[in-house]
Amino acid sequence: MTALLTVSDLQVGFQDRGRIMRAVDGVSLSVDRGRTLGVVGESGCGKSVTSLAIMGLVPQPPGVIQGGEITFDGKNLLALPPKEMRALRGGRIGMIFQEPMTSLNPVYTCGEQINETLRAHGMSAPDKARARAIELLDLVGLPSPAKRIDDYPHQLSGGQRQRVMIAIALANDPDLLIADEPTTALDVTIQAQILQLMKDLQNRTGMAILLVTHDLGVVAETCDDVVVMYAGLVVERASTASLYSDPQHPYTIGLMAAVPRITAKAERLDTIDGTLPPPWVQIPGCRFAPRCPLATDKCRAEQPPMREITPGHQVACWFAPIDERITTP
């Protein structure tokens, strides 16, 4: 059986003063209908670039897709003619962006911005489009949608704008929803509401969700499977249950340790010592080695391949399968 979306060995670079830095260096993942895949990793590891690449929205230049394949429902998106790609964008694939405050155009009303995507995908009758827009705003839980539809974005709060953004992404009943940190910029209660909303909508429509986040707490609550990214690479891949009960990669374990109690507001995952290496630094071995408490000479010299530790649980680390005792001092 093939998944709805499969990304294999995706490589995306950015030109910068003559050299190309790899922002994404061999990412593979897949999501199926009705499932939610979480993509976690700290800031700058290439999560947004991966999502944009799926949408065909990596700014080129400076971006360059240097390799890999993205297959959506049997079609290779990287080779799709622009016109067909446009039909998918906002149609069968919807996307919600990280920045709710700036993702909507300030000079058009919410209704106009929803209508635009409806019209681009074939709903041309204005009264039908308006009715659909109101229905969508109601669906995403915007209070008194028939009135708010004529509001401009600056008249809405951040959470309300993100709801409008979700309405836009869902307007044409997508099969895949890419949500790039849909809640990072919002406060905790709104965060929970928005995530719940996405789950409800998924139950209703059976769409697949690719949920990008910093926040392992969010993953635990919403995702079926997880991909952990580090410096443009996937370092661990597992079902959520397996990842939480048996984390394998030292980076993942570090992330878990960095997760505060579920109730507290989730922090950014930067509590592991050290920082992400800048993309132009060539690291011959494991990229996490400079920060890894377990690193050996082998780690520094040779990049570990992805290996299956238990069925469905893969990790790129020479130490795996890891013994819990070694890591928790």
Partner 1 sequence: MLDTLAKRLLQSIPVLIGVLVLGFLLVQLSPGDPARVFAGAMAPPEVVEQIREKMGLDRSLWTQFWGYVERVMHGDLGRSFISNKTVTSELLAAIVPTMELMIACLIWSIPLGIGMGTLAAVWRGSLVDRAVMAFSVAGVSLPIFFICLLLIQWFGVKWQLFPFIGRGGPLWTVEGLRHIALPALSLGLIFIGPVARMTRSSVLEVLRLDHVRTARSKGLNESQVILRHGLRNALIPVVTLVGLQAGYLLGGAVVTETVFSYPGIGRLSVGAILSADYPLAQGCILVLALAFIIINMIVDILYAILDPRVQKR
Binding test (CB under 6 A) with ligand ATP, winner from 23, 96, 194, 227: 23
The residue among 312, 290, 151 whose CA lies nearest residue 245 is 312
Residue 62, binding choice from partner 1, ligand ATP, Mg ion, none, Cβ under 5 to 8 Å by partner class? ligand ATP
The residue among 233, 251, 248 whose CA lies nearest residue 308 is 248
| Cβ nearer to ligand ATP, comparing 14 with 288 | 14
Phi and psi at residue 192, to the nearest 5°: -65, -40
The identity of residue 272, as a single letter, is I
Is residue 48 a contact residue for Mg ion (CB under 5 A)?
A: yes
Could you write out the DSSP letters of every residue in 73-111? TTEEGGGS-HHHHHHHBTTTEEEE-S-TTTSS-TTS-HH
In whole angstroms, how close is the CB of 299 to ligand ATP at the nearest point? Answer: 23
In whole angstroms, how close is the CB of 89 to partner 1 at the nearest point? Answer: 4
In whole angstroms, how close is the CB of 126 to partner 1 at the nearest point? Answer: 16
Is residue 14 a contact residue for ligand ATP (CB under 6 A)?
A: yes
Is residue 254 a contact residue for partner 1 (CB under 8 A)?
A: no
d(CA 191, CA 86): 30
Enter the tokens of residue 39. Answer: 């993509």
Is residue 103 a contact residue for Mg ion (CB under 5 A)?
A: no
Is residue 64 a contact residue for partner 1 (CB under 8 A)?
A: no
d(CA 209, CA 29): 12
Is residue 82 a contact residue for ligand ATP (CB under 6 A)?
A: no
Segment contacting partner 1 (CB under 8 A): 134-142, 151-159, 213-221, 303-311? 151-159
3-class SS at 197? helix
Catalog residues that contact Mg ion under the rule CB under 5 A: 48
Catalog residues that contact ligand ATP under the rule CB under 6 A: 14, 23, 41, 43-49, 59, 62, 98, 214, 279
